[in-house]
Chains A and B, each alone.
Chain A
Amino acid sequence: MALNIVVCLKQVPNPDLQFQINAEGTDLKRDALNYRTNGADEYALEEAVRLKEKHGGRVVTMTVGPKRTEQMLREALAKGGDEAVRVAYEDPAAFDSVKVARILAAAIKTIPHDLVLAGVQSDDYINSLTGGEIARTLGHPHASVVTKVAIDGGTLTVNRELEGGDQEVVQLAMPAVLTIQFGINTPRYAPLPAIMKAARQPIKEITPSALGANSWDDFARGYTFRVRRLSLPEAKGHAEMFTGGVTDQAKKLAQVLREKGFYRG
């Protein structure tokens, strides 16, 4: 059967960089950040495109975020997405991940879907809650940390990664939500013609009214959320740090290994 697949993508600040906090202590200094597609979401997109190539169907790529996320959606189109949807929640930080997940669920509900794929976590906030929230909100079965997907008719058979290297094999009925683990596949690069084509493709925008809401705050009913304070981790003073030239550091490393009895040459 042809599959309608929605892939949830998030644009995150490159986590390999160093970060500074704004004067109020409520957000990062965002002007200096560069953004990229969340790591696990790249695997979710690739898995969606492979499933489409095998079974037929369409892949809708969707994000919740400001205008800058259009760049990410175009990359996703170039890598095999058929449509792109930006839910126009403009908060650049979007720390309240439950609110974002509820918005995503409402947006997905407006699109025919057999399968919803999301990354297992976002590299910035590391919540691992989006897939689960979407699934339960839509009333779909859900499997997290998926490392293998097979489809037979309306049934999914998936491997879920557990801790300690073990896996669990489970079955679930579609429509379903899966969170995809790193390493499930090898994400492709976008070919140049596809990049050119994606640059001209329209990106659909979803506003609160399209989801029957007055404002995005309607999706945070029942609780209030606030960032109290961001800070840099306290240096635990654990490590004795060595800096300087490589030769000096190499001498120190050799010295530590000898003194601790790890080298008996």
Chain B
Amino acid sequence: MADEILVVAEHREGKLVATTLELVSLGRSLAQQTGGSVKVALPAHGGNLAPKLAEYAEVLVANDPHLEHYSPGGYEQAILAIAAAITPRVILVPHSSQGFDLAPAVAVALDAPLVTNCVALSIEGATLVATRKILNDKIVAQVELSSDRPYVATIRPAAMKAAEPLPSSAPITSIRVEIDASKLGTKFLRYEKPEVQDIDIATADIVVSAGRGIKEKKNLVIVEEFAKVLGGVVGASRPLTDMEWLPKTRQVGQSGKTVRPKLYIACGISGAMQHVSGMKDAGTIIAINTDPSAPIFEVAHYGFTANVLELLPAAMKELRGG
């Protein structure tokens, strides 16, 4: 009974966040190790996500008007009520903007150990073994936690494949909660969405993206010219849009756009998780970076270890001259 794996579903504006099903997949493998089963916690107000989730695992729904929008306090109360009903061994939370908030709150409330941004997890007896990528993904760290309390872990998006549906839907159980509205922590006001007045890099066949490796704003023209030669558009990594060298609409990555072009060229981009999650599914990926250990080469199909400011002009000359 105490060996259940609880996955916290993440959803926004009626839509399930994809990481949830990846967590179910991980939950299934952990449940095999503990001899328990995987269950999904769904804090919500109405909506129709429970039947969809039940195609993958048993769903425990906490339904309350105060759960219409995410709040750390509201969700914490809901997760604690669900956890009290099943005494999970491990609680899995997406490593997302919401997870940064929720996972520590639940861990502190349960006086439980917390490990975050994991790419793999396993249970060995009473020990949780977490695999994390640190230092710009240049080092893999395996850490062990031992405790008789439940473990709370956040899982990096896209670290594993989404779960396949079950042969037939699992049960949906309603967990009684009454959310204390004086303990929501934050009050939701509204969503703000970017106004699109720029080209949409998400629909382009060829995206040539610039990163810190271009060194100075004036060097953007080199990348722009290269993109033009190929009939593509210019994207950017986060540091460049933070410095306002390019508008926010050009940012590729977790907090920007997800792109799946036929060709993606990463120019002077190291390949931090936040960037890679937005472009790893491109058809062909070419990476140019002076650092041969840059993690961008992990996802690239072709890697060039050169200074992008020298390589692009030389390659344009080759293309035009040939």
Asked if A and B bind, the verdict is yes
The answer to whether the Cβ of B209 comes within 8 Å of any Cβ in the partner chain is no
Say which size band chain A's interface belongs to: 35 or more
The answer to whether the Cβ of A189 comes within 8 Å of any Cβ in the partner chain is no
Set A137, A223, A233: member contacting B108, Cβ < 8 A: A137
- CB A37 to nearest CB in B, in angstroms, measures 16
- Encoded as 1 (CB less than 8 Å from any B CB) or 0, chain A from 208 to 241 comes to 0000000000000011111111111100101111
CB-based contact A168/B319 at 8 Å: no
Residues of A within 8 A of B (CB): 13, 15-16, 18-19, 21, 28, 95, 97-98, 101, 120, 123-129, 131-133, 135-137, 141-145, 157, 159-172, 179, 181-183, 222-233, 236, 238-243, 246-247, 249-254, 256-258, 260, 262-263, 265
Given contacts A123-B136, A250-B311, contact A239 B297 (CB under 8 A): yes
Residues of B within 8 A of A (CB): 12, 17, 70-73, 95-105, 107-109, 111-114, 116-117, 129, 132-147, 149, 154, 185-194, 206, 229-230, 238-239, 241-242, 248-249, 251, 254-258, 262-263, 270, 273, 284, 286-288, 291-293, 295, 297-307, 310-311, 314-315, 317-320, 322
Q: Which of B263, B303, B315 has the most CB of A within 10 A?
A: B315
CB-based contact B318/A145 at 8 Å: no
Closest to B10 in A: A163
**Cα–Cα distance between A132 and B193 once the two chains are bound (Å):** 25
- CB B321 to nearest CB in A, in angstroms, measures 9
A-chain residues with CB within 8 Å of residue B319 when the two chains form the complex: 254, 257-258, 263, 265
B-chain residues with CB within 8 Å of residue A142 when the two chains form the complex: 72, 101, 105, 185-186
A-chain residues with CB within 8 Å of residue B292 when the two chains form the complex: 241, 243
B-chain residues with CB within 8 Å of residue A136 when the two chains form the complex: 104-105, 107-109
- CB B121 to nearest CB in A, in angstroms, measures 13
**Cα–Cα distance between A28 and B143 once the two chains are bound (Å):** 14
26 A-B pairs whose Cβ atoms sit less than 8 Å apart in the complex: A19-B138, A19-B139, A129-B114, A135-B105, A137-B108, A142-B105, A161-B255, A164-B255, A165-B249, A168-B188, A169-B188, A169-B190, A224-B144, A224-B147, A225-B113, A230-B140, A230-B141, A233-B138, A233-B139, A238-B298, A239-B302, A240-B301, A241-B304, A251-B318, A263-B229, A265-B320
